Homo-oligomer: A and B are copies of this chain.
Amino acid sequence: MNARPGLDQLGLSSGKKARLHRILHEHGLRNGTALFLPYDQGLEHGPRDFFANPVASDPKYILGLAIEGGFNGIAIQIGLAEKFYWDYAGEVPLVLKLNGKTDIPSTIDPLSPTNATVEDAVRLGADAVGYTLYLGTPAQERDFAQYRQVRADARRLGMPLIVWSYPRGSAVDAKGGKDSFYEVDYAARAASELGADMVKVNFPHPEKQSGAAEPYLADFSSQQAIDAVVRSANRTLLLVSGGERAGDEAMLDKARQSMEAGATGLIFGRNVWQREHSESLRFVAQLRDILTKYPSR
């Protein structure tokens, strides 16, 4: 288990520290852990994701859920932020997602174009911005260039930057795959090298070894893998993504191992809102029970 560092040990500027303090210590469990609600699937996947629980199609419902469930923040695109955040402004921290794409064209070698700026986030009263970086695609060069501007603006304005660090593309598929230990570990490190304040990664699968770099071919437990991933992120706080809806026990296990490894928290969307309201809250309560055991300064 890695010790989770306090906010004063991360080399943060005053503005980033103030905003992360709000997220981690003035919302949610107020103990330095985080539970984020991502809600950009309407753009990324389309409304198909809402058929399992049609009310989830309504952004106002989701914002209410974020508040009722005691989330540390909600991650949405500019359009929903402009039209829905005012109603609850300040009641739950806003993470403005700055880029996004549809999944209609081929997503083999994706790039996610920005549709909003860090200044938009400031103007709306957001406490962080989110950026999806697709590592390993042939478009990596353009992605890095686009990301560089976001990073520089976030620094200039004291806005915490959360990187959705996702290995993608045919090269990734050939080297372990997007949720292999090798690729997830690389993704965490790359975000840290490129200046993310938080990084969102998939939970690593050490058994996916086909094509992975040599050191990853040994026999690692999933706990060992997530431990290593948190270490690779060093002073970049780590969030583990829920991904597609899966069995509750599997999700809770993933959560426990992540927190045990020193992650700062979880970012679970579909596993939360792709079910009926009271079921959502019951599942969230279980996640909070886990987070409550891992306080930090």
Residue of B nearest to A135 (CB): B102
A interface SS class: helix
Contact present for B104 and A136 (CB under 8 Å): yes
In angstroms, how far is the closest chain B Cβ from the Cβ of A175? Answer: 6
| Identical chains bound together, number | 5
Q: Does A179 contact B (CB under 8 A)?
A: no
Residue of B nearest to A19 (CB): B125
Contact present for B15 and A79 (CB under 8 Å): no
Q: Which residues of B contact A104 (CB under 8 A)?
A: 135-136, 140, 167, 169, 171-172, 175, 183, 186
Which among B94, B102, B215 is the interface contact of A186 at CB below 8 angstroms? B102
Identify which of A41-49, A66-74, A275-283 touches chain B: A41-49
Q: Which residues of A contact B (CB under 8 A)?
A: 10-22, 25-26, 40, 42-43, 46-48, 50-51, 54, 57-60, 77-87, 89-91, 94, 100-102, 104-106, 111, 113-117, 119-120, 122-125, 135-138, 140-141, 144-145, 147-148, 151-152, 155-158, 167, 169, 171-172, 175, 182-183, 185-186, 188-196, 213-216, 228, 231-232, 234-236
